[in-house]
Structure formats: structure tokens, C-alpha cells
Amino acid sequence: MPVRRLVIDVLIPHNLSILHLAEKMAEIEGVDGANVHVLEVDERTKTVEVTIEGGSLSFDAIKEVTEELGGSVHSVDMVSAGSKLIEHEAAEQEV
Amino acid sequence: MPVRRLVIDVLIPHNLSILHLAEKMAEIEGVDGANVHVLEVDERTKTVEVTIEGGSLSFDAIKEVTEELGGSVHSVDMVSAGSKLIEHEAAEQEV
Amino acid sequence: MPVRRLVIDVLIPHNLSILHLAEKMAEIEGVDGANVHVLEVDERTKTVEVTIEGGSLSFDAIKEVTEELGGSVHSVDMVSAGSKLIEHEAAEQEV
Amino acid sequence: MPVRRLVIDVLIPHNLSILHLAEKMAEIEGVDGANVHVLEVDERTKTVEVTIEGGSLSFDAIKEVTEELGGSVHSVDMVSAGSKLIEHEAAEQEV
Amino acid sequence: MPVRRLVIDVLIPHNLSILHLAEKMAEIEGVDGANVHVLEVDERTKTVEVTIEGGSLSFDAIKEVTEELGGSVHSVDMVSAGSKLIEHEAAEQEV
Amino acid sequence: MPVRRLVIDVLIPHNLSILHLAEKMAEIEGVDGANVHVLEVDERTKTVEVTIEGGSLSFDAIKEVTEELGGSVHSVDMVSAGSKLIEHEAAEQEV
Amino acid sequence: MPVRRLVIDVLIPHNLSILHLAEKMAEIEGVDGANVHVLEVDERTKTVEVTIEGGSLSFDAIKEVTEELGGSVHSVDMVSAGSKLIEHEAAEQEV
């Protein structure tokens, strides 16, 4: 079943514009939209959270584009797959 | 009556991609969608919360797929069953 | 007037699956759906919060099913009755 | 103009079921639905918050039913009246 | 332009029922609905927050009714006027 | 492009009614509605937050009306302009 | 793929009106609306958060307008691109 939403943490060089990153992410086949959000700015790098939605996402293509731009995928935090887009239930908080 | 939503805590090996886990979960018969969310990352394992929705879920099939991938179901945190999908009411918080 | 929603705290034996509990609850006559949420896990027992909705709920039937499975209803935390399903208003918090 | 929603604090004997209370409240003329929520459990009594909605509510009838069941209305916390059901605005919090 | 919503703090005698206050407020010409919410209970008085909505509200009439019932308007906390009912924006919190 | 929403902090004399202020604001040309919310009450003055929406707002007219009533615009906290009314995104909170 | 939403931090001279800034932002080609929100006021400067939405945004044009008005873009905090406007998922908070 296709992957429909991905939330990933990406480390990018300080001089890479997140505008460019978002545009490139949105150009990947199967991607409907991408949101890039800056989480932390360090001297040489920025940590950004990227949310991507689409009909069928290829993580390999997303990873490739990230690396072509000089970034690296730090972690994959959330994945939704299937014919229906499921929101995650925060059952953990109360247990 | 069919189980319609499951929220489970799963322990997976560090090298298992949650992309792969989400895709495999979404392929199970009766599953409409799966969301995998990373809760904790340890040296050798990851703890993830998996939310699965569908017309009729088989926990055995979900457990089997988890174990085939080298993971184990740590706990079942929430279950919804019936013709109507019921949200849980947080009555506990105020008592 | 019929009871339309119930939120109860149930103590169940550690080895009783909440999947089984939710399925059995949803099979009771007059029940449209049931949600079982784990609140606390002790050595021999689990405390779960059960939310049940339906056109006309019988607490006796719900209690019977709970006890047949080895559990016991610890408390009834919230009840909605009538032709219209009323949400409770949290007036208490601000007084 | 008719009273459309009432939120009251009610003290009831420990052995009175809130199921019974909710059903009786919902049977009163002019009541569309009632929600009973347990706020505090003491040795001999329970304090519950009752939310009642309807086309035209009679507080006297609600008080009478409460007392017939051995309870007493502790306080009236919120009242909405008129042709339109108004939600209260929490202006207080920010002043 | 007409006043469409008012939130006022009112001091009322301890023995005045907020049911009566809400009903009387809702009977004023131009009022569609009134919500009375108890904020504080003192020995001789109660402080209540009254939210009133309507096509065209007369503060003088509202004040008069309040005083006829033995209460007094302590403060006017929020007013919305105009052809469109505007919600207030909490810009303050982040500045 | 027209200004569509304004949130301003206004200092007004203690004896100026916010009812009068809201009515006058709502009468200005191009204004659809005004909300006045009391933030702070001092001995001689009140600080209020005014939210104004309309098809095309003139800040000069708003300032003029404020000053005619004896108040002064303390600060302009938020402005939305354009054919589409944009809500502000709270990106700041997480960075 | 076009950039659809931008959230930027802008440093502007103390005497520049955010009304003027919002109007100028909203006049840029491809912009549907702009929201300017004051975050911090210092002696000589103001820090504002600007949210801009449109069918296709040009960051260069936005930067140019900012600088013509004497301001400077301090940081780009969030970017959404693609045919679908994606909201960012706050996966970070729980990890």
C-alpha cells in the first residue's frame, strides 16, 4: 500500500534555503505538497522538520533530493500508509 | 462485532524502517490505513505507536506481520469495536 | 428515556485481552460501538476506561458481559440519557 | 423566555446510581437530554455535575426529581435562556 | 451600528437565582439569548459573568433589569458591534 | 490591497464606555464589525484590545474616532491585508 | 512547484507602520493575503512575523519589498510548497 504522509527530521547546511528545499520536495513524483519548518539553527547547520503528503510517496526519491541539496535525513518520525490517511492517536499520554 | 481501530505499542529492531512497517501494516486484509509514530529510540530498538483503522481488523494478522519483521507487540493501548467508531471520553481527568 | 452513552472504569484480569472485551461489548444488544482504553497496568490486573454508545444501553447487560469475562465494573463515571446526546459542560473548572 | 441549558452540582447518596439519575432527568417534560458526570466520591455521598438541555426546562421539576431520588441541588453553575443557545465567553481569564 | 454581543460581570444578591436572571435577560427586547455563569460565591453576594447576544442590544435595558433584580453591573468586559459578529483576536498573549 | 483586519491596543479614559467605543468603531466606513475587549483597568485609564474587520479598513479613520473619544492608539499588534484573510501562523513558539 | 505559504521573521525600523508593510506585501504579484504580527518591540526596531499565502509566491519579490521599506528578512521559519497546502505535523513534541 502507498505511503501517504511522511514526517522527517532533516539536517541541512546553514546556507541552504528552506524555500529551495520545499520546492524541490514538492516537485518529486507522487508528492502533492511539502511543508518545511525550522526547528533549530546551529552555527553550520539547520534542523528542519519536513511534512510531505501525496498519493504515493517514495522515501528513496525524498532521500535522494535531500542529499543532492547537501542535507541528510536525520530520522523518520511518522509514516502514514494505506488507502485512508490515518491520524495518530495519542494514547500514550494518559497511560 | 468487528474491531475498527487499534492503537498498539510495538518494539522494533533499530534497523527496521518504519516506512516498511507502515506499508506492511496497510497491506493486511481489512486494514484501510496505518500510522506509525516513533515514541522512543534506544541503542538497539525503537518503540513506536501504531494506529490502525479498517472495516474489520485481525489482531492476529497484525501481530504476525509485526513478528515477521522482527518486532513484538509490547501492549495494546486502545481498541474500538462496533458498527460505529467511538472516540474515548476522558472522564478520568477531572475526577 | 434511553441511556445513550456510558463511560465506566473496569478492572480486568491481566490476561484478558482488551480486544476481546471491546468485541464483546460491541455485540451487546443496543450498542453501536465501544472504545476500550488502558489507564493503568498492575501486576495482576488492568484498569481500563470503556466508552459505549448506542440507541439504548442496558447497564445490566454491560455489567454481565464484564463479569463473564472475569472483570468488574469499578465505577460509572459518566452517563448521557435522552433523545439528544448531551456533551457535559465543564463549568466546574472556572468556579 | 425558556431556559435551554442548565449546569447544576448535585449531591447524591452513595448508593444512587447515576444511570438512574440520568434516565429520570431525561424523562422530565421539556428535557431533550441529560449528562451526569461524577466529580467527587466521598464515603456517603457523590458530587455530580448534571448538564441538561431542552426546549424549555423547569428547574422546579429538575429539583423535585433530584430530591425524590434522595439527592439535593448543591448549586446552579450555569444557565442559558432565550431563543438562541449562547455559549459563555471566557472574558475573565485574560483580564 | 447595533451592539451584538456583550460580556458583563454582575454582582447579585446571594438569594437571587441565576435562572431568574437568565430568563429576565432573555426577555429583553433585541436579545436572542443569555448565558449566566457563576464565577464566585461569597457570603452575601455572587459574581456572575453574563454573555448576551442579539440583533441589537440595549445596555441601558440590561442594566435596568439587573438593578430591578437587586444586582449591579460590576464591569463590561467585552462588546461586539456591527453587521458582522467579530471574535476577539488574542494578539496580546505573544507580544 | 485593502486592510481587512486590525488588532490594536487602545488607551481610553476610565469613564469612556467600551459600548460607545465599539458602536463608534462599527460605524466607520468600510468596517463590518468591531470587538472591544478590556485588558487592564487602572485608576484613570483602561487598556482595551480592539479587533476590527471589514472589506477595506482606514487606520486614519479608526485613529481619528479613537482620539475624538479621548483615547489614543497605544500600538498596532496585528494587520491582515489582501483579497484573502490570512490567519497568522505561530511558527515562533517551537523555534 | 509553487511556494504557497511563507512564514518569515522580519526586522523593521521602529517608525515603519505594519499597516504599510501588510498592504505592500499584499500588493505583490501572486500574493492573496498577508498577516503581520508584532513579536517584539525594541528601542529602534520591531520584530514582526509575516505570514503570506498565495497561488505562487516569489521570495525575492517579498525580500525586495521588505528592504525597500527599510526592513530586513531575519529568518524564514516555515515554507509550504506544492499543489496542496500541507499543514506541518508536530511530531517533534512527543519524541
Counting DSSP H helices and E strands in chain E, the numbers are 2, 4
Distance from CA of G61 to the nearest CA of F (A): 16
d(Cα G1, Cα G83) in Å, to the nearest integer? Answer: 7
Task: State pLDDT tens for residues B39-95.
Answer: 999 989 999 999 999 999 999 999 999 999 999 999 999 999 999 998 776 554 433
Select the residue of C37, C40, C41 nearest A91 (Cβ to Cβ): C37
Which of B75, B85, B89 shows the shortest C-beta gap to C78?
B89
Confidence bin at D65 (pLDDT 50/70/90): very high
3-state secondary structure of E48: strand
Taking all residues of chain A, what is their mean pLDDT, rounded to a whole number? 92
Nearest to D61 by CA among D40, D34, D80: D34
Query: For the segment G46-63, what is each residue's pLDDT rounded down to a tens digit?
Result: 999 999 999 999 999 999
Which residues of chain D have a CB within 8 Å of the CB of F40?
Answer: 95
Identify the DSSP state of G90. -
- Cα–Cα distance, F3 to F52 (Å, whole number): 10
Mark yes or no for CB contact E79/F22 under 8 Å.
Answer: yes
Question: How far is C-alpha F40 from the geometric centre of its chain's CA atoms?
Answer: 15
Grid coordinates of E17? 437565582
Q: How many CA atoms does the CB half-sphere of E36 hold within 13 Å?
A: 27
Interface membership of F77 toward D (CB under 8 Å): no
Q: How many CA atoms lie within 13 A of F52 on its CB side?
A: 32
Contacts of A46 (CB under 8 A, 6+ apart): A11, A12, A13, A14, A16, A18, A38, A40
| Residue whose C-alpha cell is 432565550 | D82
pLDDT surpassing 70 at residue B14: yes
Within 26-55 of B, beta carbons closer than 8 Å to G belong to: 37-41
Q: Is the pLDDT of residue A91 over 60?
A: no
pLDDT tens per residue, range F20-31: 999 999 999 999
Residues 6+ apart with CB under 8 A from C59: C3, C6, C76, D17, D19
Q: Which of C47, C53, C8 is nearest to C30 (CA)?
A: C53
Q: What is the ipTM of this complex?
A: 0.87
CB D37 within 8 Å of CB C77 = yes
Specify the pLDDT at position F58.
Answer: 96
**Chain D nearest CA to C94, separation (Å):** 9
> Which one has a higher pLDDT value, E94 or D82?
D82
* Residue C84 with chain D: CB contacts under 8 Å: 32-33, 53
Positions of chain E with pLDDT lower than 70, given as ranges: 89-95
Chain C: list its partners (3+ Cβ pairs within 8 Å).
Answer: A, B, D, E
**Mean pLDDT of the region B1-27:** 95
**DSSP state for residue C70 in the 8-state scheme:** T
Q: What is the pLDDT of residue C50?
A: 97
D60 in contact with chain E, both atoms CB, cutoff 8 A: no
The alpha carbon of residue G62 is apart from the nearest alpha carbon of chain E, in Å, by: 24
D92 pLDDT above the threshold of 70: no
Q: Which residues of chain F lie closer than 8 angstroms to E77, CB-CB?
A: 37-38
Distance, CA of F89 to CA of G79 (rounded, Å): 11
Q: How many CB atoms lie within 10 A of CB A78?
A: 22
Residue D91: which pLDDT band, with cuts at 50, 70 and 90?
low
For residue B25, CA distances in Å to A2, A70, A78, B15, F70 come to 11, 33, 14, 17, 67
pLDDT-derived band of residue A1, with 50, 70 and 90 as boundaries?
Answer: confident
Domains of chain A, with CATH numbers?
Answer: 3-81 (3.30.70.1340)
pLDDT number for residue C93: 41
**What is residue C88's predicted lDDT score, i.e. its pLDDT?**
74
Percent of chain A with pLDDT over 90: 85
Q: pLDDT band at residue D57, thresholds of 50, 70 and 90?
A: very high
3-state secondary structure of G9: strand
State chain C's mean pLDDT as an integer: 92
Q: Considering CB atoms only, which of D1, D87, D89 is closest to E26?
A: D1
Distance (Å, rounded) from C-alpha A78 to C-alpha A9?
10
F/B Cβ contact: 3+ pairs below 8 Å? no
| Contact by Cβ (8 Å): G23, F75 | no
Check CB contact under 8 Å for A49 and G88: yes
pLDDT at D61 over 50: yes
A94 part of contact set with chain C, CB < 8 Å: yes
Q: Which residues contact G25 (CB under 8 A, 6 or more apart)?
A: F81, F82, G31, G34, G36, G50, G52, G62, G65
Structure confidence by residue, pLDDT tens digits, D10-21: 999 999 999 999
Residue range E79-91, pLDDT digits in tens: 999 999 987 765 5
Interface residue G77 vs chain E (CB under 8 A): no
Do E and C make contact via 3 or more CB pairs under 8 A? The reply is yes
Mean pLDDT of A37-46: 94
Q: What pLDDT is stored for residue C9 in this prediction? A: 97
pLDDT at position C29 is 96
pLDDT band at C1 (very low <50, low <70, confident <90, very high): confident
Mean pLDDT computed over D74-83: 96
Q: Which residues of B touch G94 (CB under 8 A)?
A: 37, 39
If DSSP codes are grouped into helix, strand and coil, which group holds residue C66? helix
d(CA A88, nearest CA chain C) in Å:
15
Q: Is the separation of the CB atoms in G19 and F3 below 8 Å? A: yes
Residue segments in chain F with a per-residue pLDDT below the cut of 70: 89-95
- Confidence class for position A86, pLDDT limits 50, 70, 90: confident
* Separation between Cα atoms, residue F16 and residue F13, nearest integer Å: 6
**What pLDDT, on a 0 to 100 scale, did the predictor assign at position A92?**
46
Considering chain F, what percentage of its residues have pLDDT values greater than 70? 93
